[in-house]
Structure 1
Amino acid sequence: MSLQSLFVSSSARVFRLGAFATLCLAMLAGCSTLGNNAQPQEPKPDLSELAHQAAQQMVANNPDLTRYSPMIAATFVSIDNLTQSSTFGRISSEIMASALAQQGMQVREVKMRDSMFIEESVGELILSRQVQRLSSQHNARSILMGTYAQGQDALYVSARVVRAGDAMVLGSADFQLPLDNNMRSLLEAQGGW
C-alpha cells in the first residue's frame, strides 16, 4: 500500500468518524429537547393590567366618554346577589376608576364625603333605584358600575360607565381572571368561594 493511499484511507476514516460523532451529538441534542417542548409561558395579565386595558377599550369605543365627567365609582358586586360584594369587588372598582382617570375621566372621590352611606363590609353599593339620587348628591354625570361572577376556574368581570341622568350605558368592557388562590382570598368576604 502506498503512502498516498494510506493517507487517503486514514483521512476517509477520520472523516467518517467525525461525521459519526457529529451525527451522535445531533441525536443527543434532539433527545434532550424531546421532553422539553413547552415554550416558556408569558405571565397571565393581572387585575390591574386587565382593568387598564378595559378602560382603554371603553374610551377607544366611545371617545366622548370623558365628557361625562365627573364620575363616581360604585363597588363592583356579585352578579348572584347585587347587595353583596367582597374585597375583590372593592379593589376592582378602585383600580378601574384609577384606570379611567388615567384615560382622562374626572373621578370624584366619594369616600371623602359624608353624604354617601358606606357600609363597612360592602362598600359603595349603587343599585339602580339609587343612581339618580346619588349622582345628584355628588354632582356626577356618570357612574362606574360593575359585576363579577365566579366560575370553577375563572372570575368574570363586567364593568360599565352609565350616564347618571338615565342610566344609559356609555362604555363597557369585560374580562376574566384565573381563579387562583389569590382571587379566592379576595372573594372570601362574600361568604365563601
Structure 2
Amino acid sequence: MLITLFNAQRASVISRAALMSLALLLLAGCGTMGNANNTYAEPEPDLSELVHAAAEQMIASNPELTRYSPMIAATFVSIDNLSQSSTLGRISSEIMASALSRQGMEVREVKMRDSMFIEESVGELILSRQVQRLSAQHNARSILMGTYAQGQDFVYVSARVVRAGDAMVLGSADFRLPLNNNTRSLLEGQGGW
C-alpha cells in the first residue's frame, strides 16, 4: 500500500511537470505565432513623414536654398494632366511648404491674398507661363512645385523648388507613397483612380 501511494504521488508530480512544460511551450509559441521569422513588420510611413524627409533631403542637397526666400507654394498636380489636382496634391504641397519652413525657408502664404486666382477644386496651380507673373505679384524669389503619378502599388511624388526669375530648379526630392485606402481616398478628388 505504501508503494502504491508513493507511485501515485510520483505520477502526480510527473503529470504536473508535463503540464507545466506543455504550458510553457504553448506560451512560447504564442509569442511567434503568425511571424515565422520572429520579426515585426514596420508600419508604412505616412505622407507627412515622407514629405518631411523629402524636405530635409532637399535642403541637405542645397543648403543655399533658403537664400531664395520668400517662397510661394503651388498645388502639386497630376503628371497625366497638369491642370488637375486632388486632395493628395493640395495636402502634399501644404505639408512640403510647412516642412521647408521648418528647415529655414521663408514661405509666403498666398491664400490670404486676393491677387491670386484659386480654383476651389484645383488649388493654386502654377503653370510655366504664370511663374514670373505670380512670383512678381507675391514678391517671391522661389516657387514650390510638384507632380504625382499613380502606379499599381504606389503614388510617386516629385517636388521641386524653382527660382522665380528663370524657373531654374534649385532643389528637388522624390518619394513614393504606398497606395492604400488612405491614399486612394486622397486621390478620389482628381476624377478617378
Pairwise same-fold verdict (TM > 0.5):
yes
Q: Which residue of 2 aligns with 1:100?
A: 100
Q: TM-score, normalised by structure 2?
A: 0.84
Of 36-45 and 165-174, more deviation after overlay is shown by 36-45
Q: Which residue of 2 aligns with 1:188?
A: 188
| Structure 1 runs of 4+ with >4 Å offset | 21-35
Deviation per CA, 1:53-104: give whole Å up to 9, x if none: 1111111100000000000000000000000001111011000000000000
Q: Which residue of 1 aligns with 2:82?
A: 82
Q: Which residue of 2 aligns with 1:12?
A: none
Q: CA–CA distance in 1 between the matches of 2:107 and 2:68?
A: 10
Q: CA–CA distance in 2 between the matches of 1:49 and 1:33?
A: 30
What is the SS of the residue equivalent to 2:158?
Answer: strand
Q: Which residue of 2 aligns with 1:65?
A: 65
The alpha carbon displacement at 1:139 in A equals 0.5
Q: CA–CA distance in 1 between the matches of 2:69 and 2:32?
A: 57
Q: 1:23–1:166: structure 2 CA closer, same or farther, 3 Å change rule?
A: same
Q: 1:119–1:27: structure 2 CA closer, same or farther, 3 Å change rule?
A: closer
Q: Which residue of 1 aligns with 2:145?
A: 145
Q: 1:30–1:57: structure 2 CA closer, same or farther, 3 Å change rule?
A: same
Q: TM-score, normalised by structure 1?
A: 0.84
Q: How many equivalent residue pairs?
A: 183
**One-letter code aligned to 1:122:** V
Deviation per CA, 1:106-160: give whole Å up to 9, x if none: 0000001111000111000000111111101110000000000001111110001
**One-letter code aligned to 2:119:** E
Q: CA–CA distance in 1 between the matches of 2:32 and 2:67?
A: 57
Q: 1:57–1:26: structure 2 CA closer, same or farther, 3 Å change rule?
A: same
Q: Which residue of 2 aligns with 1:177?
A: 177
Q: 1:27–1:114: structure 2 CA closer, same or farther, 3 Å change rule?
A: closer
What is the SS of the residue equivalent to 1:105?
Answer: coil
Q: 1:33–1:115: structure 2 CA closer, same or farther, 3 Å change rule?
A: closer
CA root-mean-square deviation: 2.6
The alpha carbon displacement at 1:31 in A equals 6.1
Q: CA–CA distance in 1 between the matches of 2:80 and 2:59?
A: 28
**One-letter code aligned to 2:109:** E
Q: CA–CA distance in 1 between the matches of 2:164 and 2:78?
A: 21
Q: CA–CA distance in 2 between the matches of 1:113 and 1:156?
A: 31
Query: Sequence identity, in percent?
Result: 78
The alpha carbon displacement at 1:45 in A equals 1.3
Q: CA–CA distance in 1 between the matches of 2:28 and 2:121?
A: 58
Q: CA–CA distance in 1 between the matches of 2:68 and 2:32?
A: 57
Q: 1:32–1:115: structure 2 CA closer, same or farther, 3 Å change rule?
A: closer
Q: 1:54–1:34: structure 2 CA closer, same or farther, 3 Å change rule?
A: closer
**One-letter code aligned to 2:57:** Q
Q: 1:156–1:24: structure 2 CA closer, same or farther, 3 Å change rule?
A: same
